[in-house]
Amino acid sequence: MDFSFFRKDKSKPAPAKKSGKAEAIEAINQAPLTEEHFNSAPLQGGIDVVETGAKLAPGIEEAAMLYASDRADEAIVLLKTHLAGADAGDAQWRMLFDLYRMTRQREAFDQLALDYAVKRETSPPVWVDEATTRPQGKNISAEATKSSGQLFSLKGALDETSADRITLLQSAAGQGAIQLDLSGISSVTPAGSQLLKDALAQLQKKRAQLQIASGALISLLQQHTGDVAQHEPAHWLLLLQLYQVQGKQDEFEDLAVDYAVRFEVSPPSWETPAEVAQSIAPVAAEAAESASANAFAMHGVINGGSTALFEEFRAFSTARKEVELDLADVQRVEFASVNLFMEALMHLLQAGKRVRIIGGNEMVNVVLIVMGVDEMAEVMRRKAG
C-alpha cells in the first residue's frame, strides 16, 4: 500500500532523493540484523501531505497490525508463511525473532536461529532475557520486575499545585492497572497530603488495581509524624491511607493509636481493601538514574486509554529542546493510540522541539511508520542481539 507522509515545504516540488518515510521503510526492509538505522530527521515548519510509492516488505505491515491488535499467534503464522517463500528478506526474519522474544517462546526462537544461520549463512541474533538488559549494579527486586500497568509518577513538592496531576491519576486508574511511583516526592504540605489521601481513598473504593512504590514517601511522612512540633493531621491521615491500601494492618493500627493520643480524637477505622495495592521497588526512579536526562520511558501497552502517560510526556518535555521517547519496555502500541501520539508530537514540533523515539521492537516501529509518527520524530531501530 502507499503511505502519506509530511513534507516541510509546500511550494517546492518533491526532490528526487528518497523521502523520510521511504528511507524509514527501506531501513525496515533492508537493514541487516546487526545494524541500527532510521536516520531520517524530524521535520520542522510547515506541513504538507504527499504520496510515496515506498512499500514495506511483504507481510511486515500485516504482521505488525495483527500484533498491535493482540493477535500475536496470527502474526507469527503470517511471517512463517512469508519466510517459506523465495523472496523473504531480513525484515521478516527480524520481526519473527522479535515476536518470539515478546511472547517468550525460547524454543521457537532457538529453532528459528538455526534456520536463519543455515539459510542466510550468517550469525543469528541471540536470545536476550529482560533481566540481562537492565543497568548493571541496579538492585531491582524480583517483584518489581513483575510490575505491570500504566506508569504514573508524582515528583517534587506534593502540595496544592499537585491537584491536576492527581486528577489525571484518578482518570488513568479508571482505564486499567496503574504503577504509582511516589519515590520522587521530596516535600509535602498539608494540602498536598489531603489531596493524595482523598485520591487513594477513592481508588480504594473503586477497587482500582494499583502497584505502589511508596517507601520514600512513607519515610518522609514518618519524619513529620515523629516530630512532636508537627500538628498537621493531614500527614498522618495520608500515611494511614498508604498503609491501608497496601494491606499493612499492623502498621495502620500502631499509627492509629499514636494519632488518637496526639490529636485526642478517634482515628480512622481499618477497612480491609478489596484490592490490596502491591508494593514495588521504584523502577522508574532506578531507570532514570542510568538513562539520559532527556529520556522519557513508556511501559506496557500503549492504547487509546494512555492519555495520562502522554500528558506526563508533554510535561517532561517542557523544559527540554531535545527529547528521547524510550519505548524499550513497551510491549505493544495499539493503533487506537494514533491520536495521542500525533497530538503530543505535533505540540512538541510546534514548540520547536526535536524528538527521537528509541528502543522500540520491530512491531512497534512498523506501527509508528504506518501511523506517520516517523514524520514528526526520528525513529531509531534498536540494535539486534
Q: Between 115 and 21, where is the model more confident?
A: 115
For 293, other C-beta atoms within 10 Å of its C-beta total: 7
Summarize pLDDT for 172-182 with one digit per residue, the tens.
Answer: 777 677 888 88
CATH code where residue 358 lies: 3.30.750.24
> Considering the domain boundaries, does residue 261 fall inside one?
yes
Q: Are residues 338 and 372 in the same domain?
A: yes
> Considering the domain boundaries, does residue 265 fall inside one?
yes
> Considering the domain boundaries, does residue 298 fall inside one?
yes
Say if residue 139's pLDDT is above 50. no
Q: Are residues 295 and 196 in the same domain?
A: no
Grouping H, G, I as helix, E, B as strand and the rest as coil, residue 351 is coil
Q: Are residues 153 and 256 in the same domain?
A: yes
Q: Are residues 307 and 336 in the same domain?
A: yes
pLDDT of residue 11: 44
Q: Between 378 and 306, where is the model more confident?
A: 378
Q: Are residues 368 and 246 in the same domain?
A: no
Boundary of a domain, candidates 251, 279, 307: 279
Boundary of a domain, candidates 246, 279, 312: 279
> Considering the domain boundaries, does residue 232 fall inside one?
yes
pTM: predicted TM-score of the whole model, two decimal places:
0.52
Q: Are residues 155 and 226 in the same domain?
A: yes
Q: Between 157 and 138, where is the model more confident?
A: 157
Q: Are residues 230 and 154 in the same domain?
A: yes
- Give the position of cell 502519506: 4
- How far is residue 8's CA from residue 15's CA, in Å, rounded to a whole number? 12
Q: Are residues 228 and 199 in the same domain?
A: yes
Range of the domain at 304: 286-379
| Count of the separate structural domains present in the chain | 2
Summarize pLDDT for 144-184 with one digit per residue, the tens.
Answer: 334 456 777 888 889 998 888 888 888 777 767 788 888 88
Q: Are residues 187 and 305 in the same domain?
A: no
Q: Which of 376, 303, 379, 358 is nearest to 335 (CA)?
A: 303
> Considering the domain boundaries, does residue 368 fall inside one?
yes
Boundary of a domain, candidates 226, 250, 279: 279
Q: Name every residue whose Cβ is closer than 8 Å to that of residue 12 and which is 6 or more positions away in sequence.
A: none
Q: Please state the rounded mean pLDDT for residues 102-127.
A: 88
